[in-house]
Amino acid sequence: MERCWQWRFRLSDVTSDSLSQTRSAADAQLLLDSVAAQLRSKGERMSAPRRAVLTALATTAGHLSTEEVAAAVTQIAPKVHRTSVYRALAALSELGVVQHVHLGHGATAYHLTGDLGPHLHAQCRQCGSIIDLPPDLLVGVAERMGALHGFELDATHVALSGLCARCAAGESSIVHHHHTHSPIATKLH
């Protein structure tokens, strides 16, 4: 397969005007190198779409919808097709580098797993903010479901629903966002 030179880019090409930086360029490059090594160990390669998706997620704060990932990738590597973004998200999710979580109303959000690994999420049903939760929070519930029903719970796959502290206190005026971000994260807008 011929290498497509038009899709090559450097992390330094990503401007802070276009994306909110959550990692330094050096940290993001370390992530890319680490994932490339993981891919090679599985007989795969770091394709331009995978690199672009990882760069978008590494340099953008929060939990991003598919559309937001695709928009960020377009800014980084305009020649990467949207279908390639979807395939890259799926492959990187299988590798465990990217986690996807299903939110209310059928939306899906993506983010890098980081040091925490796959973990739980809660989504405010009023303002739509997403809160990262410890991966072991529901271990007791999962064990009980297994003992009572023989059911293996995958709680990392969907967000728990409720009210964030701000909305519960009546402080939020935002209602039902379909794409959401961590409340401490900067939006890609």
Helix (H) or strand (E) holding 82: helix 82-95
What's the whole-number mean pLDDT along residues 152-157? 91
Q: Counting beta carbons within 10 angstroms of the beta carbon of residue 124, is it exposed (0 to 12), middle (13 to 18) or buried (19 or more)? A: buried
Mode of pairing for the β-strands spanning 108-112 and 64-65: antiparallel
Q: Render pLDDT for 60-82 as a digit per residue (tens, 0 to 9).
A: 888 999 999 999 999 999 999 99
Residue 162 pLDDT > 60: yes
Residue 44 pLDDT > 70: yes
Q: Counting beta carbons within 10 angstroms of the beta carbon of residue 35, is it exposed (0 to 12), middle (13 to 18) or buried (19 or more)? A: buried
Residue 69 carries which DSSP code? H
> What pLDDT is recorded for position 60?
84
Residue 173 pLDDT > 80: no
Supply the angle between the helices 82-95 and 25-41 in degrees, to the nearest 10: 70
Q: Is the pTM value of this prediction over 0.85?
A: no
> What pLDDT is recorded for position 1?
31
- Cβ contacts of 26 within 8 Å, gap of 6 or more: none
Percentages helix, strand, coil for the chain, rounded to the nearest 5? 40, 15, 45
Residue 139 pLDDT > 90: yes
> What pLDDT is recorded for position 26?
79
The whole-angstrom separation of Cα 76 and Cα 97 is 20
> What pLDDT is recorded for position 4?
29
Report the chain's mean pLDDT, rounded to a whole number: 79
